[in-house]
Structure 1
Amino acid sequence: MTRAEPPIRVLVCDDQGLVRAGYVTIFAAQPDLTVVGEAGDGEAAVELARRLRPDVVVMDIRMPVLDGIAATRLLAGPDVAEPVKVLVVTTFNLDEYVYEALRAGASGFLLKDSPPADLVAGVRTVAAGEALLAPAVTRELIGRFGSRVRTADRATPEPAQPLTAREREVLTLIAAGLSNSEIAAALVISHETVKTYVSRILTKLDLRDRVQAVVFAYRTGIVSTDG
């Protein structure tokens, strides 16, 4: 008999009590998820995450004391020795903050009006070490704000190992929000080959996941924001 996998430990962070209660109810109904704590502001979220070491932190952006972007940077930023996986949950009217949340180290984002099944799937995806990017939202958000951020980040260094033409092509499709399966279909290559390319791209650029790859592509101008 195989031993059952331990449940995914989730920390819920939102300043609205009803929202937190809703998340807790959704997660509690899943046999593979367990809520280990709740926080109503970013400072409490950071303290609890560092102490409890959850598998995933579900993080709101607008919170008192310390906002979700700053909290995410403290938990998952590039200078954090042992980063915690963060799933940002936001609304469209906060979309200009999402790019900054991704740059701060978030493993992905969802919209607050996403169905409960998508929220659960998102937690599982992030816990598994994969990045969660909704393709349509990715194109709209990063496309809208990428040029402004790229202007501010002109000093971004070139990678030590330059990408091949095919790797740049794959990166462009990642930045467009395509999944591995969609990239495989677009380039007429196997799913495993795409995974190999993605791994090489992340290694060459010293990036943690697909989210950071998307940010890099727009920040450095590899992908144009004007189509």
Structure 2
Amino acid sequence: MTEPPKSRSRVLIVEDHTLFAESLEVALSLEGYDVRRLPLPEEGGSLATLRSLALRINPRIVLLDLDLGRFGDGAALIAPLSRAGANVVVVTSSVDRARWGGCVRSGARKVLSKSAPLQETLATVRRLHQGLPVMSADELEGLLRAWGADALENQDKRRRLETLTPRERQVLSQLMDGSTVREIASTSVVSEATVRTQVKSILGKLQVSSQLAAVGMAHHVGWQPVTGQTSGNLPHMRHAGPARDS
């Protein structure tokens, strides 16, 4: 079977680190691929903007970073690009296997580490161009298992957060904003001792040992306060995707 010309395989690079993107572009261009870099708007724009721009290019293969700076988590682009027929390869600095599992569950064909040799990325593109598999069943199963275990853990963390009283949710949201116990007491017109008691209750219910750990848990599972809250408009659970470093 004759291999199709590489120029027919349009490769799109979605990456906000210019040097890394340029390295990929040069290496793939030298191999004969039709390589494009997605232009990231300097001002304005969102993930929806990037999605529209990427789909307009109609790539066969997409090399996607997860950390897209002010645009947010690139994982949100995996499903729409995959549904459009693109082979999405995530190239990330994240070492979180659960997050990798989430990517393949959304449709990514492969997840590669940025610390891996460039040849590994090139080899993956070559195999996709040839219509060959790029991930073994064992690798896929391992990543999905890691994602599943993390999802169960996050579910338990959300359950603990739901046990907080309205006042405790309000205090936690203020801790997430960087307020100190003294500042919370001042704005709430209560004593510092009262706030410390509330914080202690929060830590007990969340089963953590520090304010930092409580804030980290809330961020990790996507718990966010309602903006512009008042005493009658308290924070609640919003089941967004986990927020992780990429």
* Alignment match of 1:123 (pick from 122, 125, 131): 125
| Counterpart-to-counterpart distance in 1, 2:24 and 2:154 | 36
- C-alpha deviation, 1:70, in angstroms: 0.3
Aligned positions, number = 147
**Aligned equivalent of 1:11:** 12
Where relative contact order (Cα < 8 A, 6+ residues apart) is larger, the structure is 1
- C-alpha deviation, 1:5, in angstroms: 2.0
**Aligned equivalent of 2:148:** 146
Q: How does 1:37-52 map to 2 (within 5 A)?
A: 37-40=37-40, 42-52=47-57
What SS class does the counterpart of residue 93 from structure 1 fall into? coil
What SS class does the counterpart of residue 83 from structure 1 fall into? coil
Pick the structure with greater CA Rg. Answer: 2
- C-alpha deviation, 1:44, in angstroms: 4.9
What SS class does the counterpart of residue 38 from structure 2 fall into? strand
* Alignment match of 2:81 (pick from 72, 75, 81): 75
- C-alpha deviation, 1:42, in angstroms: 4.4
Q: 1:106 to 1:39 in 2, by over 3 A?
A: farther
Contact 1:109-1:133 within 8 A present in 2 as well: no
Contact 1:107-1:132 within 8 A present in 2 as well: yes
- C-alpha deviation, 1:38, in angstroms: 2.6
**Aligned equivalent of 1:91:** 93
- C-alpha deviation, 1:22, in angstroms: 1.2
Q: How does 1:179-194 map to 2 (within 5 A)?
A: none
**Aligned equivalent of 1:35:** 35
Code of the aligned partner of 1:117: Q
- TM score, norm. by length of structure 2: 0.50
What SS class does the counterpart of residue 85 from structure 2 fall into? coil
Structure 1 unaligned residues grouped into runs of 5+: 154-227
| Counterpart-to-counterpart distance in 1, 2:106 and 2:4 | 34
Code of the aligned partner of 1:10: V
Q: 1:36 to 1:145 in 2, by over 3 A?
A: closer
Q: How does 1:202-221 map to 2 (within 5 A)?
A: none
What SS class does the counterpart of residue 21 from structure 1 fall into? helix
Code of the aligned partner of 1:61: L
Code of the aligned partner of 1:23: L
Please list the CA deviations of residues 89-137 of structure 1 after superposition, one character each: whole Å capped at 9, or x if unmatched. Answer: 1235343321111111111111112222211111122334444227886
Contact 1:126-1:132 within 8 A present in 2 as well: yes
- C-alpha deviation, 1:151, in angstroms: 8.5
Q: Percent identity at matched positions?
A: 22
Structure 2 unaligned residues grouped into runs of 5+: 41-45, 156-246
| Counterpart-to-counterpart distance in 1, 2:3 and 2:141 | 41
Q: 1:107 to 1:71 in 2, by over 3 A?
A: same
